[in-house]
């Protein structure tokens, strides 16, 4: 089939999903989306009903090379990328970056390590139901943490980095919920950032778990290199002396001089139970067949969000909402429930209910 070239074949955005790009091309040219979709797709070879994009057809109508298209559009690649490296749910990404891509909404499938648009200082953590845009102009340390995050990725690869960063965020959330004298100086930073992201008295409209995640992200990225390092994992599992060195390093990084005096904190649990285990894979993986179905926000999720907003107090167990959120489900489900519920949180009946 000879396909005519479109007069305004704008480029795809980085990590854009195929349907988003084709939808933008259709809107820009006043074409019917389904008609254009059928032009550039064919039935999948396995005999199913689904249609898949033919890279050469998309190249023909845009005048762009297959190589350049597959560079930006992960779904177009052959062989398919390792989808475990990406978040399972497509998201818009940074709206400032999207503004230079005409034709309407841009939807991207972002890799796990993309938490911040450093250029525009925006938080890109998997968005909460509220769809808030979270500027980080007053929190340069969060932007800086993204750069450190990328250095961990370069050193250890995506799987170890994914596990280490999520474990570290979870641990920060747990530390934030400990009594004031047990969670170190970083608590003050978490409260300060929370008060910027969720100004006092505005929680009903500004509260989101993604923002709590931003509040602890710098310290999570300070801890994550230890959780990803073979040397420190070994120290964590070693004899009493090795463990003392590990605890001293944690104390230094968390500015927590008394760290290591108790055995019942979340990091000790990580050292005892998790350090010897291989990294966890994500529970949910991107599925091209279903990603266009927009996830409707269930009434129960909305109610849970409102409940968390009403209960939110940065000075009192503020990490609870973070640790039970679905973003951390992969590491949350790891077997530390008995330890936490019986040792640390005897009264936290609802602590482990996931959202």
Smallest gap, in angstroms, from Cβ of residue 109 to Zn ion?
16
Q: Which is nearer to Zn ion, 117 or 153 (CB)?
A: 117
Q: Which is nearer to Zn ion, 97 or 169 (CB)?
A: 97
What is the rounded CA–CA span in Å between residue 64 and residue 67? 8
Q: Which is nearer to Zn ion, 39 or 117 (CB)?
A: 117
The Cα diameter of the chain in Å comes to 73
* Nearest residue relative to Zn ion (C-beta): 94
Return the closest-CA partner of residue 169 out of 222, 128, 213: 213
**Residue whose pair of structure tokens reads 């570290």 in the numeric block:** 168
Q: Which is nearer to Zn ion, 114 or 156 (CB)?
A: 114
- DSSP track, 166-200: HHHHHHHHHHHTS-GGGS-THHHHHHHHHHHHS-T
Q: Which is nearer to Zn ion, 119 or 234 (CB)?
A: 119
Q: Where are the beta strands (DSSP E) in the chain?
A: 41-43, 51-53, 116-117, 122-123, 134-135
What is the rounded CA–CA span in Å between residue 102 and residue 10? 8
Smallest gap, in angstroms, from Cβ of residue 117 to Zn ion?
3
Smallest gap, in angstroms, from Cβ of residue 99 to Zn ion?
9
Interaction site with Zn ion (CB under 5 A): 94, 96-97, 117, 119-120
Smallest gap, in angstroms, from Cβ of residue 95 to Zn ion?
8
What is the rounded CA–CA span in Å between residue 93 and residue 208? 17
Smallest gap, in angstroms, from Cβ of residue 94 to Zn ion?
3
């Amino acid at each position: 089939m000879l396909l005519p070239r479109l007069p305004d074949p704008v480029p795809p955005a980085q990590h854009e999903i195929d349907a988003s790009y084709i939808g933008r091309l259709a809107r820009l040219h006043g074409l019917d989306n389904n008609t254009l979709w059928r032009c550039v797709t064919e039935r999948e070879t396995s005999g199913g009903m689904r249609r898949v994009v033919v890279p050469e057809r998309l190249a023909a109508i845009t005048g762009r090379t297959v190589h350049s298209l597959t560079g930006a559009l992960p779904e177009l690649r052959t062989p398919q990328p390792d989808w475990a490296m990406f978040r399972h749910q497509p998201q818009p990404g940074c709206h400032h970056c999207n503004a230079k891509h005409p034709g309407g909404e841009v939807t991207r499938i972002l890799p796990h390590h993309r938490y911040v648009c450093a250029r525009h200082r925006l938080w890109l953590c998997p968005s909460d139901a509220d769809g808030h845009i979270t500027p980080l102009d007053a929190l340069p340390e969060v932007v800086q943490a993204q750069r450190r995050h990328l250095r961990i990725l370069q050193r250890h690869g995506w799987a170890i980095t994914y596990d280490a960063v999520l474990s570290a965020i979870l641990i920060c959330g747990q530390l934030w919920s400990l009594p004031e004298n047990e969670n170190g100086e970083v608590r003050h930073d978490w409260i300060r950032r929370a008060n910027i992201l969720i100004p006092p008295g505005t929680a009903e409209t500004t509260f989101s778990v993604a923002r709590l995640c931003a509040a602890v992200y710098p310290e999570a990225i300070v801890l994550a290199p230890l959780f990803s390092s073979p040397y420190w994992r070994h120290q964590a599992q070693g004899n009493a002396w090795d463990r003392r060195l590990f605890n001293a390093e944690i104390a230094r990084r968390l500015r927590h001089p008394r760290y290591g005096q108790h055995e019942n904190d979340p990091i000790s649990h990580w050292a005892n139970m998790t350090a010897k285990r291989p990294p966890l894979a994500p529970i949910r993986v991107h599925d091209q067949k279903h990603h266009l179905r927009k996830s409707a926000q269930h009434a129960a999720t909305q109610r849970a969000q409102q409940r968390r907003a009403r209960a939110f107090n940065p000075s009192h167990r503020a990490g609870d909402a973070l640790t039970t959120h679905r973003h951390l489900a992969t590491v949350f489900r790891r077997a530390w429930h008995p330890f936490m519920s019986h040792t640390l949180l005897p009264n936290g009946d609802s602590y482990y209910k996931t959202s």
